[in-house]
Structures are given as structure tokens and as C-alpha cells.
């Protein structure tokens, strides 16, 4: 009997995806460049379902029913290209290659069109949820042709996370759309993590609470509207005691956050699309800053606030911080979804934003109750220009804003950095502003470079003779 699907690349993500497929009744051919990994999988998990071990890509291909479906789960970049290059000459028209790694969507665009020339269908898919998700049900974000998706859909639905009977998988759009949406997912993940980290830092710095107490506060948050995977694991990390020293784990870990690049890609792309994602950008920069050892060493001498600021009432402050976190989260998601919209329009993907919110409700790292509300917002108005304009979110922001401002003011007066929370508040106030100082910038540009400007009262493009008699004429 031929296998229904093949997986090449059996590191933990690939192995767990293969196991998930097998556990859900699919016959799975498995392959890894180093055969020990294949043997290991067969020994440890071979009884979980029907696996067909293959010791070369040729064998893998020969063991598959047609059109073939092959999941490539190797490192993004060069290694993915290498596997695809080796695979393609052995494939037939209509076969489907599925790249389930964290690929850059630009690479996916390139690969999709190269394979399309040979009649091979390419599905670049985002898969979120880490190791556990891959095994028990990830959120799956496939891009590629609708025909390829239709054929994969039953398999993907069977292995995806499930929320209230709805599997967390949808056809995001053609070619690079899936990896694009996964990229923005990760950008939002960075922003979410940064906002939570700032909240922790505030509770510690302003109220002098310990990690264990703060874990309890996050557990309380997790029982309310902030209910999410990331808040839950935050409480667990904060509660963890280092077995070596008996000290809180967060106090013995080096405070330099690393990153593998997806957050940076999100911001790079947002710059290309001129789609402001200040919350995500601050989160990426905050990680970079944390790793700037020399800069931080040099900065340690800089003076902080000279007059000791008043400490707020603890109960009030905890409530304020919850509001600030929620409001900032709304802004981060609003920015991320606007980037998805900008990408969809720019690359012609026709992405259904509500469907994206729906498949993020389960399986992925940013899964949260909150996504139900985003889905509802897009259900009500699929063309919503910003989540900030949704009636529910508007009300939440209205309720949160005084707290949000107090939190930023307190942080500022005590000298505690809150780049994420304050950037979110600035974005909010920018969106609200009736007039922006951009008018002055236009004046400056026109002054030094005759770059011209438009007026509020008359149509046309104008220039002022700044160096001369300051008369204005139409450009
Ligand atoms: C997911 C995660 C996953 C990965 C992150 C980590 O959705 O399952 O996003 O893809 O763990 O990309 O990213 P950093 O190493 O950049 O923090």
C-alpha cells in the first residue's frame, strides 16, 4: 500500500507532525537525511500508526500515492532550497510539495513560481504551536493554489487544533500568503511577549512584588479577558524556582533575549508596505537592546529620576496595568491585522481577516480568547479599516485609556522602560489626533528641498518661495 503523505526532515517539528498524521489514521512515509532519526522514530513511535520508513528521497517518493504529497520540514533558507532542488526532478506534474517550515514568504513566492513552471504545486504553510502543537494540533496557515488546498484539506483538518468543532486551518491565499500570515503571527507574538514582559517589570519595579506574587497576578489576568496561552506560560515561568540555586528562575537567566528572525522580517516588510507596526518594531528592538552588552554597560552610569516618584496604590495599579496591557494588545493586533491587509492588497491575496483570527484561536502561540473578539469584529465588518474602529474594542479602549496613561506616566516618572506599552499608547493617540504635526514636516521639506505640499482649503500642489519673498505658487 502506498502512503498518503510523506514527511522529510525528522527533527522535532517534522517528527511530531509525522506522528500527528499517523495518529490520525494517515499512512505516512518518513525520511530524514541521517537515517538514525528515521530509525529512532520507528523504534519509539512506530506503533502509533502506519509509518513507511524511507532511507532516500527516491524511496520516499516511490512509496507515495499520486499525486504525491510531500511535507518538507527542514531549516528555512538554504536547507529548504537544497531539499526542493533534489526532490523536483523526481516529481510529476500535479504533485504537491508542502514547505511547513518558518520560511520567508519572499522565498515562498520564488519557489512557488519556479515549481509552477514544472507543473509541481507548492504549498508554503505556516505551522504554529511549537513541538506540542505539531504533535497534538497546530494552527496551520497554508498558502498556494486553491486546487492543492482542496486536496490537502481533509488531511490538514484532521491534524489541526480544533476550537469548538472548527479546525484551525484555512486556505489563506495563493503562493506566499500562508508564510506571510505566519510571519505576522510571529511579529504579534513578539509584541505580545514584550507587553507581558513590561507588565511583569512594572509590577516588580513599581510595587516591589516578587516573581511568585506576580505569577499569581497573571493567573488572575488569565481568568479574565486576557486569557491566553502566553499569559498562562508566563505565570508558570515566573513561578519556577531554579533547582541549582533555589532562586526564582527569572533571576538567574541572562537578560538577553534572542530571536531567529521572523519578528525582524515582519518589521522589514511593514516598512516596505508603509504599514506602521510600532508595537512589533519596539518588541524586536527591545530584544536587540537587551543583547547590546556594551551599550548597556555604558548606559549604566546615566542618571535616573532625581526626585523619588510617588508609588501608586497597589490594588489600583494592578487594575491599571491590566487595562494598559489589554489596550496595548488591541493596538498590537490592530497593527498586525493592518499589515496583513496591506500585504493582501499589495500581493493580491484576498485574505479573509476573520478566517485568520479564527485559525489563530487554537494551536498557535498567540492563541487566546481575545481572537474570538477579533473574529467577531471582522464578521461584523469584513472591511474594517482598523480593529480600533470596532465598537467593542472602542469601548474597551475608552474604558482603559485613563489607566493606560497613568501606567505610562508612572513608568516614566520612575524611569522604568515601557517601549511596547508607550508605543501602543502613542499609536492610539496618533490615530485619534485631528491634526498632526506632519503639516510642519511638509513645511520643512518644502523649505529645504522645494518638495511641495498640499493645502487643506484649495486643491493643487504648492511651493513657497522660502528664500525669496515667501509668495506661494502652484508647483
Ligand atoms: C510558533 C513559534 C515558532 C518559533 C518562534 C520563535 O508559532 O510556533 O512562533 O515558530 O518558536 O519563531 O521565534 P524566536 O526564536 O525568533 O523567538
What is this model's ipTM? Answer: 0.96
Look at residue 469 in the predicted model and tell me its pLDDT.
98
- Residue 462 forms beta bridges with which residues? 453, 474
Residue 97 has pLDDT above 90, yes or no: yes
Residue whose CB lies within 8 A of the most ligand 1 atoms, among 141, 161, 186, for a mutation test: 186
Look at residue 226 in the predicted model and tell me its pLDDT.
98
Residue linked to cell 500508526 = 49
**179 in a labelled binding site:** no
Phi, psi dihedral angles at 471 (to 5 degrees): -80, 160
Look at residue 308 in the predicted model and tell me its pLDDT.
76
> What pLDDT, in 10s, does the model give residues 219-265?
999 999 999 999 999 999 999 999 999 999 999 999 999 999 999 99
Residue whose CB lies within 8 A of the most ligand 1 atoms, among 285, 365, 366, 368, for a mutation test: 365
- Please work out whether the CB of residue 186 comes within 6 Å of at least one atom of ligand 1: yes
SS3 331: helix
Look at residue 147 in the predicted model and tell me its pLDDT.
96
Closest CA to 421 of 198, 87, 227, 202: 198
Look at residue 309 in the predicted model and tell me its pLDDT.
74
Q: How far is the CA of 60 from the centre of ligand 1 (A)?
A: 28
- Please work out whether the CB of residue 192 comes within 6 Å of at least one atom of ligand 1: no
pTM: 0.97
Q: What is the mean pLDDT of the chain?
A: 97
Which residue is closest in CA terms to ligand 1's atom 7?
128
Residue 343 — very low, low, confident or very high, per pLDDT cuts 50/70/90?
Answer: very high
Look at residue 321 in the predicted model and tell me its pLDDT.
98
Taking residues 109-124, report their average pLDDT.
97
Question: Read out DSSP for 179-200?
Answer: HHHHHHHHHHHHHHHHHHHHHH
C-alpha cell, 421: 506599552
**Cβ proximity of 366 and 229 under 8 Å:** yes
Distance CA 54, CA 32 (A): 8
Distance in Å from the first CA to the final CA of the chain: 74
CB-based contacts of 407: which residues, under 8 Å, 6+ apart?
202, 317, 320, 321, 323, 324, 418, 421
Contacts 24+ apart (CB under 8 A), 445-448: none
**Catalytically active residues, by annotation:** 182, 189
- Please work out whether the CB of residue 194 comes within 6 Å of at least one atom of ligand 1: no
Distance CA 123, CA 160 (A): 16
Taking residues 362-370, report their average pLDDT.
96
Taking residues 406-417, report their average pLDDT.
96
Amino acid at each position: 500500500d502506498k502512503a498518503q503523505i510523506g514527511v522529510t526532515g525528522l527533527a522535532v517539528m517534522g517528527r511530531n507532525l509525522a506522528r500527528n498524521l499517523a495518529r490520525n489514521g494517515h499512512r505516512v512515509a518518513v525520511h530524514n537525511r541521517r537515517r538514525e532519526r528515521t530509525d529512532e522514530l520507528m523504534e519509539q513511535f512506530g506503533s502509533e500508526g502506519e509509518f513507511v520508513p524511507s532511507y532516500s528521497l527516491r524511496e520516499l517518493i516511490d512509496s507515495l500515492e499520486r499525486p504525491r504529497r510531500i511535507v518538507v520540514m527542514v531549516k528555512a533558507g538554504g536547507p529548504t532550497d537544497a531539499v526542493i532542488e533534489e526532490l523536483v526532478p523526481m516529481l510529476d506534474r500535479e504533485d504537491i510539495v508542502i514547505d511547513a517550515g518558518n520560511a520567508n514568504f519572499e522565498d515562498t513566492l520564488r519557489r512557488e513560481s519556479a515549481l509552477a513552471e514544472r507543473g509541481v504545486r507548492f504549498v508554503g504553510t505556516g505551522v504554529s504551536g511549537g513541538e506540542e502543537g505539531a504533535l497534538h494540533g497546530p494552527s496551520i496557515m497554508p498558502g498556494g493554489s486553491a486546487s492543492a488546498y482542496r486536496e490537502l484539506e481533509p488531511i490538514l483538518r484532521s491534524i489541526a487544533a480544533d476550537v469548538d468543532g472548527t479546525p484551525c486551518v484555512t486556505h489563506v491565499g495563493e503562493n506566499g500568503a500562508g508564510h506571510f500570515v505566519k510571519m505576522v503571527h510571529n511579529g504579534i507574538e513578539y509584541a505580545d511577549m514584550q507587553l507581558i514582559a513590561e507588565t511583569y517589570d512594572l509590577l516588580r519595579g513599581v510595587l516591589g512584588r516578587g516573581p511568585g506574587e506576580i505569577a499569581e497576578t497573571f493567573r488572575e489576568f488569565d481568568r479574565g479577558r486576557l486569557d491566553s496561552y502566553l499569559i498562562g506560560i508566563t505565570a508558570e515561568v515566573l513561578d519556577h524556582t531554579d533547582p541549582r540555586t533555589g532562586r526564582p528562575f527569572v533571576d538567574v537567566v541572562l537578560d538577553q533575549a534572542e530571536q531567529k528572525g521572523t519578528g525582524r522580517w515582519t518589521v522589514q516588510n511593514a516598512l516596505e508596505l508603509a504599514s506602521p507596526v510600532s508595537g512589533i518594531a519596539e518588541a524586536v528592538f527591545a530584544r536587540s537592546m537587551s543583547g547590546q552588552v556594551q551599550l548597556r554597560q555604558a548606559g549604566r552610569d546615566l542618571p535616573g529620576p532625581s526626585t523619588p516618584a510617588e508609588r501608586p496604590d497597589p490594588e489600583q495599579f494592578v487594575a491599571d496595568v491590566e487595562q494598559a496591557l489589554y489596550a496595548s494588545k488591541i493596538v498590537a493586533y490592530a497593527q498586525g491585522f493592518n499589515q496583513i491587509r496591506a500585504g493582501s492588497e499589495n500581493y493580491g491575496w484576498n485574505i479573509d481577516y476573520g478566517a485568520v483570527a479564527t485559525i489563530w484561536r487554537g494551536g498557535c502561540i498567540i492563541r487566546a480568547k481575545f481572537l474570538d473578539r477579533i473574529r467577531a469584529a471582522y464578521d461584523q465588518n469584513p472591511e474594517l479599516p482598523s480593529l480600533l474602529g470596532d465598537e467593542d474594542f472602542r469601548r474597551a479602549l475608552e474604558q482603559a485609556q485613563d489607566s493606560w496613561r497613568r501606567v505610562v506616566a508612572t513608568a516614566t516618572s520612575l524611569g522604568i522602560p515601557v517601549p511596547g506599552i508607550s508605543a501602543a499608547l502613542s499609536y492610539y493617540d496618533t490615530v485619534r489626533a485631528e491634526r498632526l504635526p506632519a503639516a510642519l514636516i511638509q513645511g520643512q521639506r518644502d523649505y529645504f528641498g522645494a518638495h511641495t505640499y498640499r493645502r487643506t482649503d484649495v486643491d493643487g500642489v504648492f511651493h513657497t518661495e522660502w528664500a525669496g519673498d515667501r509668495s506661494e505658487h502652484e508647483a
